[in-house]
Amino acid sequence: MTTLDPQLTIIRTRDAGADFYDSVIDRVRGSLDDSGGVMFHFSGTYADEFFSVSAYSNRDSAADMFAAVTGPQLEEVVQEAGGGPDISRDEFEIFGFAVHDDEELQDFRFTQPDEFVAVFVTNPEITNDRYLATTAAADFPNVWPAGLVIHVAASIGNHMGVFDVWHADADMASFYGDRIAPAIRKASPEVTSSVEQNPSAIELHSLYINSSSFEENRNYLRE
């Protein structure tokens, strides 16, 4: 029986990039005695927006972290700059996640170009039940694709949104095209959208994995 109640927090900034993020994250890291409940975190740019994705062990940790640390640090950076970007913050319930057991990826790191990418997949036809049926048909995460680091599925309205973090040189097309797409067709033949057509690759700027969070829950699925 797991005690997790994980929450996904996405912070997006318009007209701001990695420098703004770096100035905030330096302050945040200097204010923390521990991980603040963060299990994993990554940041990057997509469609002219810089965003960060943080997975917390529970909702209280997410709220406390923003109220006590992230929110005040964001405000200070904006005030010192005499104004700042448009910032939005959204929270989503995590339905399931899986993290690869790779000691080299633990702790915080700024990534190098072409080192990692995140892939965002959303499909309004993929409900919780269809997600479960698809992952079962694909035998995922039991058979882990080479190069995948993190998989997290969150409830966005009445359907699923999925973030996958990969090594940039991984064969992502094989996973989505040869495993996931056939699994969707097998598990939910009524689904018309093709998963191969909608993954969006995002070059990552930073990546953080708190290995102590996964001592008992490297794979998690909401009951």
Distance CA 1, CA 98 (A): 17
pLDDT for the residue numbered 199: 65
Token reading at 201: 């690759």
Answer whether 111's CB lies under 8 Å from 43's CB: no
Distance CA 178, CA 181 (A): 6
What CATH topology corresponds to 7-212? Alpha-Beta Plaits (3.30.70)
Domain ranges of the chain: 7-212
Distance CA 162, CA 97 (A): 9
Distance CA 123, CA 128 (A): 11
pLDDT for the residue numbered 1: 36
pLDDT for the residue numbered 149: 93
pLDDT for the residue numbered 56: 92
Distance CA 173, CA 126 (A): 19
What radius of gyration do the chain's Cα atoms show?
17
pLDDT for the residue numbered 135: 93
pLDDT tens, N- to C-terminus, the chain (223 residues): 346 789 999 998 877 788 888 988 888 887 776 777 899 999 998 877 888 999 998 888 899 988 988 888 888 888 887 777 788 889 999 999 999 877 677 788 899 888 999 998 887 788 888 899 999 999 999 999 999 999 999 988 777 889 999 999 999 888 988 998 899 889 888 877 666 555 677 889 999 988 877 777 788 888 7
Looking at every residue in the chain, the average pLDDT score rounds to 85
